[in-house]
Amino acid sequence: MEQEKTLMTQGPIGRILLRFALPLFLGNLFQQLYNTVDSLVVGNFSGNEALAAVSSSGSLCFLIIGFFQGVFAGASVVISRRYGARDGEGVDRAVHATVIFSLAAGLLLTVLGVGFTPAILRWIGTPENVMPDSVLYFRIYCSGLLGLVLYNTANGIFQALGDSRHPLYYLIVSSVVNVVLDLLFVAVWDMGVAGAALATVIGQCLSALLGFLHLMSGRFLVRVSLRRLRADPTVLGLIFRLGLPSGVQNSVIAIANVVVQSHINAFGDNAMAGCGSYFKVEGFVFLPITCLTLAMTTFVSQNLGAQRYDRVKEGARLGTLMTVGLSEAVGVAVFLLAPFLIGLFTPDPAVIAFGVRQARVEALFYCMLAFSHSAASILRGAGRAVIPMAVMLAVWCVFRISYITFMVPRFQDITVVFTAYPITWSISSILFALTLWKGNWMSMRV
């Protein structure tokens, strides 16, 4: 039975987490690859200014979609909890309420993104020499945000019900299409940043289409039907209660990252391109963190729904150990291979130097980043989303911005910006450790 394959309330915990996380890892790897291809192709075929234009948009993309991704995380908890409790009608209502919300959110994001692109880019201090390319890339990217939101919605539904395989299949197809179109549009037809953005949009829309075709086919645990799309007030209220804290957290942290990006921009084009290249590399570091923490959130939600409390504790402990250990191993590799990895994006030694410097400051602290995300995912799965919101806003936003704003003018060194990350990761890890050790975090009910 497909239902038995996706339930996480029985069987060996470690095997279940890995079975769920491995397809997620491969899927996110393909997604990260096609996001990175934009920078690789543009940097090697269109020059440093074009690479800086693409790189400067990364934090803005997360700023736009971060809020809604957080709200969708609340939807995933609602769906998972009801699935663990074997409440089929509740699952159906939660899924359809999530879909109708995502349609409205995707359309709103598209309008806001396209309309306010120049103002946002000027706000973060994008240099005038890269402004035309930045506006062009970001506007085309925003025109496909509905596809991105719908894919993440389908992906969240699959994952909440314990299925991480189908998102992998769809991402493989869309990633291959994206890479082929990137090379065709940029390397062959010389379309520059417009070609890179257009390839990304086509890939995102294709993955959304494939996901919803399966959800509407009747071959999955739940069937999405246009006739059953309703804004159920009770379900939407639960989704917002659980997802709003994560949404606020994501959007405010994204604003903090935009402020950080503005400080990086002040050091010039080479710093923008070098740090942008490093952030692409760091995106691969997040893969084991993202996949295992998503597995933990689903695991905690389903087992709390089934009232398997001892199993929840063991899964949280084992998942955290796996995430921290794997992330630190990746961090050591990034520290040692930084010149090669950054050099994949550009042959310019000045650009490479900025990226390598950032990698050497941050890479060995990935274990702290992993622990913070693990603890946050456990708490969200238990319905305690306010706690990670409070910790991350206080530390990753307020403290990080204050630290950079105070220190950079006094030292005039971009390394000060880089040190803000390991410092804030470490502080948040201490606070999360105290929360998990001290509190009764399994007491929340959905």
> Residues 3-58: pLDDT tens digits?
444 567 778 888 888 888 888 787 777 766 666 666 677 777 666 667 666 666 66
At residue 364, the pLDDT reads 94
pLDDT tens digits along 383-417: 787 888 899 889 998 999 999 999 988 888 899 99
The candidate with the shortest Cα–Cα distance to 167, out of 31, 15, 17, is 31
Regarding predicted confidence, which is higher, 232 or 361? 361
Whole-number average pLDDT of the chain: 82
pTM across the whole model? 0.71
User: pLDDT tens, 312-358?
Assistant: 888 888 999 999 999 999 999 999 999 998 888 878 888 899 999 99
Give residues with Cβ within 8 angstroms of 196, minimum separation 6.
37, 38, 41, 42, 54, 137, 182, 185, 186
Task: Give the Cα separation of 67 and 62 in Å (integer).
Answer: 9
> CA nearest 69: which of 301, 315, 380?
380
8-22, 49-63, 287-301, 365-379: lowest mean pLDDT where?
Answer: 49-63
pLDDT of residue 374: 93
Distance CA 294, CA 274 (A): 30
Interacting residues of 390 by C-beta distance below 8 A, sequence separation 6+ = none
pLDDT for res 422: 95
Is residue 414 within 8 A of residue 271, CB to CB? The reply is yes
Judge whether residue 1 has pLDDT over 60. no
- Both tokens of 89, joined, read 């009608």
* Window from 56-70, 84-98, 323-337 with minimum mean pLDDT: 56-70
Percentage of the residues of the chain whose pLDDT score is greater than 70: 89
- Provide the residue type at 153 as one letter: T
> For residue 3, what pLDDT is reported?
46
User: CB–CB of 76/301 below 8 Å?
Assistant: yes
Distances (CA, A) of 223 to 94, 99, 123: 12, 12, 43
Q: What pLDDT, on a 0 to 100 scale, did the predictor assign at position 403?
A: 93
